[in-house]
Chains A and B, each alone.
Chain A
Amino acid sequence: MVVTKPQIVRWLEKVAAVLDENKEYLTQLDSAIGDADHGINMSRGFGKVMEKLPGVADKDIGNILKTTGMTLISSVGGASGPLYGTFFMRSGMAMAAKEELSDQDLYQLLKAGVDGIVQRGRAQPGDKTMYDAWLPALEAMKNKLEDGADLLAALKTAVAAAEQGMKNTIPMQAKKGRASYLGERSIGHQDPGATSSYLILNALLETLQEQ
């Protein structure tokens, strides 16, 4: 299938709405092992993205994503600002000048973004971070696409894998970020970053499922 520019814009709008709806939930997760501001910061950041989007909606997809990244970098703060900011900056660079995306493009968009997160945050699998949601999601999506599945089916599998990856962070001991100072006390709590990552990916699936 072909992913259009309006669909990418719609995805970002949906992310803003979903993060706003889940503001309290994400903040509550963060209060257990972090500094209780993840939902507030993400909601504020994507609120700013919504202000910027109309100004770039007629630009190419790469430009739209890069603008999203720059906006998040300058408005979110904390660790999630540079991490999600880098995700959208890198995905934007990978999609430079594109007006629409193929199945493979969409995978590359996500892959480039996640590579950016890893490079910026130096996370390893199992560190109890957003990478623990993204890594299984990307692997699942890649395998499905290689098996010849269509984009929606591949993305569905990816979202399921991200959800499982998010839940898998519960028994993990945090080794990155503020939560790492809790040591074993970080065990038993779901990672807020993995949760927002799942929500962002799920919003993409829901967008593409809309007719």
Chain B
Amino acid sequence: MKKLINAVEDVVREQLEGMALAHPDLLKVHFDPNFVYRADAPVKGKVALVSGGGSGHEPMHGGFVGMGMLDAACPGEVFTSPTPDQMYEAAKTVNSGEGVLFIVKNYTGDVLNFETAAELAHADGIAVQSILIDDDVAVKDSLYTAGRRGVGTTVLAEKIVGGAAEAGYSLKQCADLCRKVNQYGRSMGMALTSCTVPAAGKPTFELGEDEMEIGIGIHGEPGRTRMKLKTADEITEILALGIIEDGPYTRTVREWDNEKGEWVDVELTDEPFKPGDQVIAFVNSMGGTPVSELYAVYRKLAQICEAKGLTIVRNLIGPYITSLEMQGCSITLLKTDEEILRFWDAPVKTPGLRWGI
């Protein structure tokens, strides 16, 4: 294992200490329990957005803390979900009285820990809503698995709902918008190489020199298929068509009923893309793939979208939701409407995303 680390057990803490030193104007870091939060929190009159997950996906989530995006982010150990005391303390710190929205990626550990935190925060009198991101089309069925994983759409949801919260949306409006963004977004990723979790010391999975994994998860979860390496155009086509030709997706998610103080099952169905849709196209690096290759992917993606009748109205290209040093990429397409586009374009000032100011 070749990494820029001092000691395995200090990886997360030292990264957080570095972030605090680098961005004092934007954020602060609280230790024990660990969370990153806006320097000016709590922001008066604004709903607070809290997300989190295992470390190793930077800049997500800590790099998205700041004006126009997250109020707090809770980092776990590398690829390990954070614990409820982190989300609970973060929620207390950033809540201005307008309530807290948890944005949760659909991984069993993240879901169970955020659910516990929502109950703790509710018991403390904090208004909480919790929305799940589950956009990874590589997972085909929801009946026999833990359901689709939360990947690229998470970044877009944090930006868009962050803009809405800044504009004065209520907690319920933020939750409704976040649910909509999740339902409008679909992603698929692939890996050229594995990654190495520092604590494990060896690659998460083995992949031959001439092989790639299609449909990889951001923690190296197995995808749909393993196949011989193909060209950038062929790989882009596999991912893009996997997303564009994906049919309706129905599953039951659990949402927190803030009035009754209990979990309710909600059945959601996402509709497929159709010709005429306007989309945000997001081409993401898994960490080890250079931006030059991402542009090659975007080139082909733009051609495919045009052929399929989808109009790309905005794009995002770069490493935003990574898997340590894994080589590979993911594509996310998000159907947009006037509301989504307005908050996508709204000003944002975080370490990871910054525009409009």
Contact = CB atoms under 8 A, between A and B. Distances in A.
A175 B142 CA distance: 9
Interface in A159-199: 173, 175-178, 180-183, 185
Contacts of A120: 112, 115-116
B80 A178 contact: no
A36 B109 contact: no
Interface stretch (A14-22, A58-66, A78-86, A92-100): A78-86
Interface residues on A, range: 20 to 34
B316 interface: no
Contacts of A183: 144-145
A175 B113 CA distance: 19
Contacts of B107: 178
Interface residues on B, range: 20 to 34
B76 A82 contact: no
B45 interface: no
Nearest to A175: B144
Output the residue of B76, B77, B108, B145 with the most chain A CB within 10 A.
B108
Nearest to A127: B144
B159 interface: no
Interface stretch (A68-76, A105-113, A140-148, A150-158): A68-76
Interface string A27-60: 0000000011100110000000000000000000
> For chain A, what secondary structure do more than half of its interface residues adopt (helix, strand, loop), or is it mixed?
helix
Interface string A131-147: 00000000000000000
Contacts of A85: 116
Contact of A82 (B84, B146, B199): B84
Interface in B74-123: 76-77, 79-85, 107-109, 112-113, 115-116
Given A175-B144, A181-B217, A77 B82 contact: yes
Contacts of B217: 181
Output the residue of B80, B85, B107, B139 with the most chain A CB within 10 A.
B80
A36 B82 CA distance: 16
Interface of B: 33, 76-77, 79-85, 107-109, 112-113, 115-116, 139, 144-146, 149, 199-200, 217, 219, 221-222
